Amino acid sequence: MDLGLQGKVAIITGASDGIGKAAAISLAVEGARVAIFARDQGRLDSAAEEIKSAGSGEVLALSADVTDKDAVQAAVDKVVAEWGTVHILVNNAGTSSANKFDDMTTEMLDIDFGIKVYGAIHCSQAVLPHMKKNGWGRIINTTTPGGKASGGGSQPTSLSRAAGISLTKAMSKDFAAENILVNTVCVGLIKSGQHRTRWEKGRKDNPDLTLEQFYEKSGANVPMGRVGEAREVGDTICYLASERASYITGTAINVDGGTSPVV
């Protein structure tokens, strides 16, 4: 199936690893020009080489802190200077922060909302003028099913993800008439760098625990019985970014192996 992405210009944040890198690979395979944003230039450069080897599109690796509006604008300006415009934005920057309400601090809130909510806003505001000029745009926000149905001990992530889902719906209404479609992918348990870090910490108490065993145990409560692969989210994002998803906007799609209690 031709997704109609040849030559499209895409920006993906949080793209040095995990879901962001997987989305960049999926888009590059379809022929999109891909700009990847993250804070660590070394990891970005490594990811860029992997994306280039997998795909047919061009790749830019730009260090940018999405919490800094001026830094975001400067990075987007570099993309436009190189490729002329922006068609697709994937707001993926963020990590999990799960605490009981009594343990949540203002600092946790500031960090979490700064990356996940303000970061998505800064990036969207920077690219929207170009999408409006094109009369075509796709914005995909990465959130979680916890933003729909929050569990205990899930703050502030479930709070910021609920805000991301709300932002998605509001933006979809604001820009639909301009053919700028806005959706969110609610991501469940997926193999990623942050889970590898948890495995490494767990090995201090259980040095014989392999990564495969860790993921097997982690996926035991997922209805599908396994932890998801980053590419499974990346391919979903790629589809939503494509011309084949031309009548889909304002949706929140669970990619979680059936874990969420709500649709």
**228 DSSP 8-state letter:** B
CA 214, chain centre distance (Å): 24
Per-residue confidence (pLDDT) for residue 193, from 0 to 100: 84
Coil, helix or strand for 142? strand
CA 28, chain centre distance (Å): 16
**191 DSSP 8-state letter:** -
Show the tokens assigned to 19: 């879901």
Count of beta carbons in the 10 Å neighbourhood of residue 24: 33
**8 DSSP 8-state letter:** -
Write out the E strands in 144-210. 155-156, 180-187
- Cβ contacts of 214 within 8 Å, gap of 6 or more: 195, 198, 199, 202
221-to-88, 202, 212, 216, 227 alpha-carbon distances in Å: 34, 19, 16, 10, 10
Domains of the chain: 9-190+230-255 (3.40.50.720), 191-227 (no CATH)
Per-residue confidence (pLDDT) for residue 101, from 0 to 100: 97
What string of pLDDT tens digits covers the 263 residues of the chain?
A: 789 999 999 999 999 999 999 999 999 999 999 999 999 999 999 999 999 999 877 999 999 999 999 999 999 999 999 999 999 999 999 988 999 999 999 999 999 999 999 999 999 999 999 999 999 999 999 999 999 999 999 999 999 999 999 999 999 999 999 999 999 999 999 998 888 888 998 888 899 999 999 999 999 999 999 999 999 999 999 999 999 999 999 999 999 999 999 99
Of 249, 244, 164, the C-alpha closest to 3 is 244
20-to-129, 140, 154, 156, 181 alpha-carbon distances in Å: 23, 11, 22, 21, 19
Q: What are phi and psi of 3, to 5 degrees?
A: -85, -5
Q: What is the CA radius of gyration of the chain?
A: 18
Task: Report the C-alpha gap between 108 and 94 in whole angstroms.
Answer: 13
Per-residue confidence (pLDDT) for residue 57, from 0 to 100: 76
Of 57, 50, 52, the C-alpha closest to 5 is 57
- What type of residue is 29? V
Task: Report the C-alpha gap between 34 and 170 in whole angstroms.
Answer: 26
- The model's pTM is 0.96
- What type of residue is 160? S
Q: Are 58 and 84 in contact (CB under 8 A)?
A: no
Task: Report the C-alpha gap between 51 and 35 in whole angstroms.
Answer: 11
Of 172, 8, 202, the C-alpha closest to 86 is 8
Task: Report the C-alpha gap between 64 and 43 in whole angstroms.
Answer: 13
